[in-house]
Structure 1
Amino acid sequence: MLGSLSAFIASWMVRRLAPLASGSGIPHVEAVLAGLTPSASVGLIPVKFIGGLLAIGGGLALGREGPSVQMGATAASTIGRLLRLGPVDCRSLLAAGAGAGLATAFNAPAAGAIFVLEELVGRFEARTACSALGASVSAILVSRALQGGHPDFVVADSPMVISVSAQLLFLLTGLAVGLLSVLYNRTILVTLRLAERINVGVEIRAAIIGAFGGLIVWLTPHLAGGGDWITQSAIDGTLVWTALPMLYVLRLVFGSVSYAAATPGGLFAPMVALGALAGLGCGDLAHVLSPTLAARTTPFVVVGMAAMFAGAVRAPLTGIILVTEMTNTPSLLLPLLSGSFAAMFVADAMGEAPIYQALRVRAAGEKR
């Protein structure tokens, strides 16, 4: 009941007060930086904040990073307008605010800056790079002063030494996760299309999905939200391998349905959780085939997280740096590069568009 009511209120707030607050918000930020649409008003921030708390707190499988990115971008854009800065400065400030939002959400300052250049802007700009780095560092200093500087996920016995001969296993892991990243993108888009065909109001649809989320919270509370518990359990290797396929399908469907509720919420954390599950499955299989080369599953989980991001978002540098900062595993750089390359190769070969690009094109088509 509470999950249904929370989703209903969040959806109502979005539709009535700030329609741009729906979903992740990252496609909208990209459209603003591309000059395709104006930036959102400051009224989006409280709707995104409260709506995100209600949706994620109510049990929907959504991440915190999308709202953080859009709120950061909107706040920075508002400051630029109040200071009467020029269009170029306002654009750099907006991008920097978005990067600071991502950096704070994952306690990952370098990833926040790289995300701006690789995904939001799509090219290196000295002004934007400087602004993004400054904003990310400033945001992290404040965040760590309030919450501490521990990484999001704990990896035991780090650093890890990976033999050169084991790189083939990580390459194969990236290929497998690349296929799953294509499945992830297509599931999100298909679910959105199916949800639109349901002849009910947006708030009623959100309430129905919220009731489903509330049921999952009641039965298995660890499966709700962004999926941090799932990711940490995969890193620790405490999940039974026979349960991985069912758990993966459940989170995939639940996450896609949650995003179709049109409430504030992001895709990063759920995507990373799915990558962790896929990586654990690949690690278990590799250990059976070659116990010597694949003595531990943890490296495969970390590679799966980055590979899922690389295949779905098509921003490999951001994914590699983000996962490295979240897990504090710089020793896995070469496996991360191998897995991310393979995942991107598969997604590109299958002609799959990056998820945020697909969502942006879809949103533009709805406005016509």
Structure 2
Amino acid sequence: MAGLATPASVGLIPVKFIGGLLAIGGGLALGREGPSVQMGATAANTIGRLLRLGPADCRSLLAAGAGAGLATAFNAPGAGAIFVLEELVGKFEARTACSALGASVSAILVARALLGGDPDFVVADSPMVISVSTQVLFLLTGLAVGLLSVVYNRTVLATLRLAERMNASVEIRAAAIGAIGGLIVWLTPRLAGGGDWITQSAINGTLIWTALPGLYALRLVFGSISYAAATPGGLFAPMLALGALAGLGCGDLAHVLAPTLAGRTTPFVVVGMAAMFAGAVRAPLTGIILVTEMTNTPSLLLPLLSGSFAAMFVADGMGEAPIYEALRTRAASEKR
């Protein structure tokens, strides 16, 4: 999309499909949205080339296909369309917006016909009434998660640099990381993979607060080294799991400091997910809509806005580049 590379050929699709299936199915802490986005973008761009469309139309189709891949991965059509405009294009373009909406809607219709339309995470049906006075707690949660998002970005980039400096081939490096993943799967299978079980447990409030720091550290390191293995996989799902853990920790702390205001911990978990996304990716609208669709919690819109704003405030104030911008800059420097 930035013009720094030629769009991949259709041969990328089976590589990402099989590679992602093996890597994610094998237990590495990677998100399914990574291969889905890349397969969707490649398929859409290939269709544009087969129809002999112009460069502008192919570019719009490539972005729309990427959004459809994200929408399908998380059953979130709104987030798929907004992701295209906010993250990939960076501005509103009528042609791209129309393509993104059409691709996301059609992709979701097919996916729901095959898999059903239930949201990824189950949140209790009891109404969550958030008073104005509790917004300060969500602002504080956003500030804390924003700091953790900076730590997350720097850990991912530092792990990639460390992997490059190792005097070993990519195959040996991947095998070593796979062995670590296999050990985690063997000892604690629920802590491996993209992190859906962790996120759902945080939403349910079934994780013991004393275990949260250890779980967070394990997932942070395991997610970073999984990404350094250079196998197909994304960052979104592991990032949301970290945000859920951070949000649960903030909710538990809020109960200690302000028990009359805190209420349930579930809203803090949901806000933590969106705040982590906003701070790390710097795409707050995508994060808010994505988390809302994944948890079916439209009543938490104001807390999500507060937490995302605070997280972005911290990340921008610390001068931290968005993770995908940093990865793109790193890839460009490697080519030079």
Give TM-score scaled by structure 2 length: 0.99
Deviation string, structure 1 residues 184-204 (Cα, Å, up to 9, x no partner):
000000000001111011011
Q: Quick check: 1:101 aligned with 2:79? A: no
Distance 1:280 1:158 in 2: 18
Instruction: State how far apart, in whole Å, the 2-side matches of 1:159 and 1:115 are.
Output: 29
The structure 1 segments of at least 4 consecutive aligned residues displaced by more than 2 Å after TM superposition are none
Structure 1 CA distance for aligned equivalents of residues 299 and 260 of structure 2: 19
State whether residues 51 and 263 of structure 1, in contact with CA within 8 Å, keep that contact through their aligned partners in structure 2: yes
* Counterpart secondary structure, 1:292: helix
CA deviation after TM superposition for structure 1 residue 35, in Å: 1.7
Q: How much does 1:158 deviate?
A: 4.3
Give the gaps of 5 or more residues in structure 1.
Answer: 1-32
Q: Map Cα deviations across residues 274-304 of structure 1 (whole Å, 9 max, x no partner).
A: 0000000000000111111112100000000
Matched residues, percent identical?
A: 90
User: 1:208 matched to which residue of 2?
Assistant: 176
Task: String of CA shifts for 1:125-159, please: whole Å, max 9, x gaps.
Answer: 00000000000000000000000000000000343
CA RMSD of aligned residues (A): 0.6
1:189 counterpart = 2:157: yes
Any idea what the Cα deviations from partners look like across 1:78-110, whole Å, max 9, x if unmatched? 000000001111111111100000000000000
Summarize the Cα distance change of 1:50–1:253 in structure 2 as closer, same or farther, 3 Å threshold: same
Match of 1:142 in 2: 110
1:256 aligns with 2:224: yes
Q: Which amino acid in 2 is paired with 1:367?
A: K
Q: 2:193 is matched with which residue?
A: 225
Q: Tell me, in whole angstroms, the C-alpha distance in 1 between the residues paired with 2:192 and 2:45.
A: 32
What is the count of residue pairs matched by the alignment? 336
Q: Determine the C-alpha separation between the residues in 1 that align with 2:104 and 2:195.
A: 24
- Structural mapping, 1:16-165, within 5 Å: 33-165=1-133
The residue type paired with residue 261 of structure 1 is A
Counterpart residue type for residue 335 of structure 1: P
* Alpha-carbon offset, residue 205 of structure 1: 0.4
Quick one: distance in 2 between partners of 1:169 and 1:198? 43
Alignment partners' CA distance in 2, 1:57 and 1:324: 26
* Partner of residue 176, structure 1: 144
Structure 2, gaps ≥5 residues long: none
Contact 2:274 2:287 in 1 (8 A): yes
- 1 CA distance for matches of 2:163 and 2:3? 29
User: Is residue 4–residue 332 contact of structure 2 (8 Å, CA) maintained in 1?
Assistant: no
Quick one: which amino acid aligns to residue 293 of structure 1? L
Does 1:357 pair with 2:320?
no
Deviations 1:158-181 (A, max 9, x none): 431100000000000000000000
State yes or no: 1:274 paired with 2:245.
no
CA contact (8 A) 2:146 2:310 kept: yes
Q: d(CA) in 2 for partners of 1:324 and 1:81? A: 35
Match of 2:285 in 1: 317
Counterparts of 2:23 and 2:87, CA distance in 1:
26
The offset of 1:58, in angstroms, is 1.2
Q: Distance in 2 between matches of 1:158 and 1:46?
A: 43
One-letter code aligned to 1:50? I
